[in-house]
Amino acid sequence: MSLVFRTALILNFVTQFAVAQIVPEEISVETMPDRGPNWFIGKTGNGGYIFDATDGEMKGMLSLSRYTPAVTFSPPRQEFYAAESYLARGVYGERTDIVAIYDYENLSPIAEIEIPNYIARLQVRSHMGLLNNGRHLAVLNMNPGHSVSIVDVEDRVFAHEASTPGCAVIMPVAQNDFLQVCGDGTLQLIQLDLSGFEANRVRSDIFFSVMDDAIFDRVASSNTGWFLITHSGTIFHASTDDDQIIIEDGWNPRLEGEENWRPGGRNEIITAHHETGLIYVAMHEGPIDTHHEPGTEIWVLDSNSKRRIGKIALDTPANSILVTQEENPKLLVVDSEGGSHVYNAMTLSYERSIAIPGSTAFEDL
Amino acid sequence: MRIDTIIDRTYYWIDESARRTSLAMARKLSRRNFISKLGLFLTGAASFPLLPVARSFAQESVQEIGDPQSCDYWRYCAMSGTLCTCCGGTYTSCPPGSEASPITWVGTCTNPADGRSYLMSYNDCCGKAVCSRCGCHNTEGDKPVYFNSNSSTVLWCFGTENTSYHCTVSLVLGAADE
């Protein structure tokens, strides 16, 4: 036996032995780990991307309709709720509006409730709100008159459609109530009964002028109510006591010489940290009617002293912001070029950027 | 027989019939005849200046200046969306196969060509995928969604068979300074 033949024979045995040592891999599917601090949903026209702001790692994704105004999470029920709208053939065909329910473990749809086909199909977080009892979900409609669909997420049924002409925005208060902003310069309180039907409706006094200085349809929750901001930057706080609507005097954080600084952006331009009472607002310098101009700075305001306590100057202006409700909160920013960034909300220092394709706004998780 | 020949002969027949009928009527009818009077009235009416109300409805065409495919074009001062002028339509017509929404938002724009203000109607064209060419977002006089008649943010595909958004046109409804 020649040397060449013996060498080839040995290599043949060795190779087969080496290949036989590799165990074939099997595909598997992850489930969601326990929710951590500073986790958030990056809302896009494609769905909700779930991230940990602390390290920038993606955890999973919720597939949502492109018309979904908002998605929200119920910690006690470990469920996500999203108002969605579908056309049978994508861009034409029968329209079906639903509230979809997704489980936390797999981010999969587990139930859906058909609602009237009138969802106001805009990317506005306050066009949907889970009321504080955790049972009734309110969804804003536009046809083109305004109304609100109430869904019982516990019994998985559509409960009621309340007509709300001239009023939009959903701001949950008390246990089973919500406030709305109205075009006549008032707030409207709608109180529901246990079944989700309207039990009472109250209107505030007129406190702003939609023609002179309109209140944004972007609002921020506080620990006792809601912060509202006008196009010129005047901030109001609204809360309720049973059927009383309480609106505190407005204040404007601008200093002398800053009269041309205004809030603005295409999405959520105001956000507040409940425990500290800090308000973050995307601001820019410009004339009136520039309320959709992205913010070149983020102003940090103390609602207790009604003063500005800090600013973040941005390289790329901000279209949408959100502060997480944590002890060490993060400030999340979507810029006008679609970039998503994380700041330390207390030190106001930049921490990282995260790639979220088509990012428009955020939801705290 | 070719279709062109049939059409030509049909036109000839219509012309010839009209000519013969007119000649016959001219021979038979007196000047006092009702039809003669009606013809005289119609001819005479055209020579009178129109009353002010009629003139406002018979608005002379709006002078145009600028590029209708640019967001800076004067009609788009309160426009938000995709310009139909870039998508196979014009500033008053929807692209082929799309459906014009009859419900709109409005704004007031100043035309630099004549310095006048015009009431504008922004109609969405619906029923097709979003065109996404020539995006335009102007906010002059824009109001929040709760004041939706002046809100450019809203998707205005209401009253149409299909509610998907394609693009937006801008129509002059009238002069705002009259």
Domain boundary assignment for chain A? 258-365
Smallest CA-to-CA distance from A365 within A74, A107, A131, A111 is with: A74
Give residue A104's Cα distance to chain centre.
17
**Which amino acid is present at A70?**
A
Contact B154 A210 (CB under 8 A): no
Contact A291 B142 (CB under 8 A): yes
Smallest CA-to-CA distance from A341 within A354, A329, A328 is with: A354
pLDDT at position B34: 46
Nearest-neighbour CA in chain B from A120: distance (Å): 8
B13 is catalytic: no
Q: Does B3 touch chain A (CB under 8 A)?
A: no
B74 is catalytic: no
pLDDT at residue A318 greater than cutoff 90: yes
Q: Does B156 touch chain A (CB under 8 A)?
A: yes
Alpha-carbon span A308 to A303, nearest angstrom: 9
The tens digit of pLDDT for each residue in A44-102 reads 988 999 999 999 999 999 999 999 999 999 999 999 999 999 999 999 999 999 999 99
- Which ipTM did the prediction report? 0.86
Nearest-neighbour CA in chain B from A274: distance (Å): 25
pLDDT at residue B24 greater than cutoff 80: no
Q: Does B127 touch chain A (CB under 8 A)?
A: yes
pLDDT at position B51: 40
Q: Which residues in B34-139 belong to E strands, given as ranges?
A: 80-82, 99-100, 105-111, 116-126, 135-137
pLDDT at position B154: 87
Q: Does A87 touch chain B (CB under 8 A)?
A: yes
Cβ-Cβ contacts under 8 Å, A124 against chain B: 145
A258-365 CATH: 2.130.10.10
